[in-house]
């Protein structure tokens, strides 16, 4: 069985790859554990100047948290949801505060918790196939790590989080969510070129610059907002709305694909619909 997260060094960069391509690199316990270990390894290696996070395969960076596994938690009370979601947030915020520059290299779906991991990186480079969004509201959940308000303007954030819409890579670039869009076969080369621009800077300078940037956003209230959202998300996930129950029942009885089709049909969209 392949590892859930792969680690390799390419010159001054550590490449961390979410490795569940058959599940669109959905995040589960093994992936989060592997991500923690890979990030610790990158921080400990002084030869590593930049950390690149990507997904295995062509279809997805990550489609978010594994809803098939999450269905097992569908009837737990709010205080237990708090513990479950705190584990998810820990991994994302570890990436956010990593004391080295980070780049998300995105192909395909980058949704929900996967979108949050990408947003936690300092820079995002996407191919034209990139699809971004947080569709959780459509099955009675919400963003786990509330980073989007700090990356986008208020109105665009409100639109995306109230509708659950996905946007394509070009729209994400216009909105300021990502740095740039490249052709499908140019992603690695573009990321490596960016790494080469960053790598000549001494590591202590990179570390202190990263700390300054993190502290600037946290002075604006980012971490306080994330912690407050954890409390609210625990109550939201435990709300036990009829739509939440039906979605999870379909996941358990007919599988995730059927549940997603049911979800999007309620919104009058074809599965995988995207806004540009």
Whole-angstrom distance, CA of residue 67 vs CA of residue 97:
26
For 120-143, what is each residue's pLDDT tens digit?
Answer: 999 999 999 999 999 988 887 889
Domain residue limits at 202: 5-266
> For residue 70, what pLDDT band results from cuts at 50, 70 and 90?
low
- Res 254: pLDDT: 86
Residue 59 falls within a domain, yes or no? yes
Residue 275 falls within a domain, yes or no? no
Tally of domains within the chain: 1
Beta carbons of 64 and 143 less than 8 angstroms apart: no
Rg (CA), the chain: 18
SS3 56: coil
Residue listed under structure tokens 């394509």: 168
Q: Is 116 a catalytic site residue?
A: yes
Q: Share the mean pLDDT of the chain.
A: 90
Catalytic one of 70, 116, 134, 190: 116
Tell how far CA 244 is from the center of its chain. Answer: 22
212 Cβ contact partners less than 8 Å away, ≥ 6 residues apart = none
Residue 272 falls within a domain, yes or no? no
- Res 234: pLDDT: 84
Mean pLDDT of 148-152: 93
Residue 273 falls within a domain, yes or no? no
CATH of the domain at 114: 3.90.226.10
Catalytic one of 70, 134, 136, 192: 136
Residue-wise burial string across 165-179, b where 16 or more C-beta atoms lie within 10 A, e elsewhere: bbbbbebbbebebbb
Its pTM stands at 0.91
The token pair at 243 is 């739509």
Q: Is 136 a catalytic site residue?
A: yes
Beta carbons of 169 and 190 less than 8 angstroms apart: no
Residue 276 falls within a domain, yes or no? no
Q: What angle do CA 218, 222, 225 make, to 5 degrees?
A: 140
Beta carbons of 61 and 100 less than 8 angstroms apart: no
């Amino acid at each position: 069985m392949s590892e859930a997260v792969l680690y390799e060094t390419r010159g001054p960069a550590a490449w961390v790859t979410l490795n569940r391509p058959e599940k669109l690199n959905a995040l589960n316990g093994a992936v989060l554990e592997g991500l923690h270990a890979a990030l610790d390894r990158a921080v400990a290696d002084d030869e590593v100047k930049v950390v690149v996070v990507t997904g295995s395969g062509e279809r997805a960076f990550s489609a978010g948290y594994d809803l098939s596994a999450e269905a097992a938690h569908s009837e737990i009370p709010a205080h237990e949801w708090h513990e479950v979601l705190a584990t998810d947030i820990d991994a994302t915020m570890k990436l956010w505060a990593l004391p080295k520059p980070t780049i998300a290299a995105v192909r395909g779906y980058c949704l929900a918790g996967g979108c949050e991991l990408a947003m936690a990186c300092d820079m995002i480079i996407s191919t034209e196939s990139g699809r971004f969004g947080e569709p959780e509201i459509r099955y009675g959940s919400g963003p786990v790590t509330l980073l989007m308000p700090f990356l986008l303007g208020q109105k665009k954030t409100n639109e995306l989080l109230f509708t659950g819409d996905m946007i394509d890579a070009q729209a994400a670039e216009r909105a300021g969510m990502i740095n740039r869009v490249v052709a499908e076969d140019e992603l690695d080369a573009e990321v490596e070129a960016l790494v080469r621009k960053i790598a000549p800077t001494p590591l202590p300078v990179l570390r202190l610059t990263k700390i300054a940037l993190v502290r600037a956003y946290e002075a604006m209230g980012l971490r306080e907002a994330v912690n407050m959202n954890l409390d609210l998300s625990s109550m939201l996930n435990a709300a036990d709305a009829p739509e939440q129950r039906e979605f999870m029942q379909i996941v358990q009885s007919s599988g995730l694909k059927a549940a997603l089709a049911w979800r999007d049909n309620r919104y009058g969209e074809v599965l995988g619909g995207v806004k540009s």
